[in-house]
Copies of this chain bind each other. A is one copy, B any other.
Amino acid sequence: MSGPRFQRLAIIGIGLMGSSLARAVKRAGLARTVVAADHNPAHCDQARALGLVDDMVADPRQAAKDADLVMICTPVSTYAEIGERMAPALKPGAIVSDIGSVKQAVIRDLGPILPEGVHLVPGHPVAGTEKSGPEAGFAELFDGRWCILTPPPGTDPAATDATRALWEGVGMTVEIMDPGHHDMVLAITSHLPHLIAYTIVGTATNLEESLKGEVIKYSAGGFRDFTRIAASDPIMWRDVFLNNREAVLEMLQRFNEDLTALQRAIRWGEGQVLEDLFRRTRDIRRGIIDAKQA
């Protein structure tokens, strides 16, 4: 292939994920032109100062015009409005994709809005940090991580292939998955861990004043790892929970049952129950280290 894979890539939202993608696409020379839209003027200024994209605009419609591929990198609750706004400007054959942590809701919100001849290929690069904003991004964010694509039935394979090429081009390994299955897998590997981290950090903030200062001081005993996760973007995570309600509630129910069993074991001094679980959980860690995802 001569020249870049994409003529014009539009990134909607230039926060942690969008700015990391812009950097990684530049690094790999994957697009002739990269344009981004963000409704936050401060984000626009930062992106311009950092030289992240060729053109930085406020209006998603302007960015999406003539784009081969539009990548939505904003919280999931904004998709419908962004889709409505972009729709008239999308050229026939354009691909609309996204990086959202839930996938059924994306198909629900964007599917009916996009014009005939525009391809919807929802995606989820499983990577991130607890930081936010254009300055927090970095080109290596995607290296060696997994990206899940959830094209709805009937999607043009060429559109899926093009989206796959983008993520592979920035260092990811791509898997195709049913959107409902994605939402269930991520409910346990990502959404529930975040919910629990937010909860325990919230519990600590509600403590009596005599304890609260000491929680920060002695956080090295395990708590600080939860605070890192619980520092993730509030709007993005609000939207995840609201848009993956059933799967999150299902996993939360299972977690609650297991926690109640442990609570009972502690109350009744059943050391063997605790020890057996604590040995089993060690094996999962080994699996993650072996899979090079540690």
Q: Which A residues fall within an 8 A CB radius of B?
A: 77, 101, 126-128, 130, 145-146, 148, 184-186, 188-207, 211, 214-232, 234-235, 237-239, 241-242, 245, 248-249, 251-252, 254-256, 258-259, 262-263, 266-267, 269, 271, 274-275, 277-288, 291, 293-294
Contacts and interface: CB of A to CB of B under 8 A. Distances in A.
A203 B277 CA distance: 10
A248 to B, nearest CB: 6
Contacts of A220: 126-127, 145-146, 293
A243 to B, nearest CB: 10
Contacts of A255: 199-200, 203
A123 to B, nearest CB: 13
Q: How many copies does the complex hold?
A: 2
Instruction: Name the prevailing secondary structure of the A interface residues.
Output: helix
A222 B190 contact: yes
Nearest to A145: B220
Nearest to A190: B221
Contact of A237 (B186, B241, B278): B278
Given A222-B193, A249-B266, A259-B199, A227 B285 contact: yes
B275 A234 contact: yes
Given A222-B197, A282-B231, A188 B215 contact: yes
B216 A188 contact: no
B225 A225 contact: yes
B269 A245 contact: yes
Given A202-B280, A239-B271, 18 more contacts: A128-B221, A188-B207, A188-B223, A189-B204, A190-B223, A203-B255, A203-B258, A205-B283, A216-B291, A227-B285, A228-B285, A228-B294, A232-B278, A234-B275, A238-B275, A242-B266, A245-B267, A248-B266
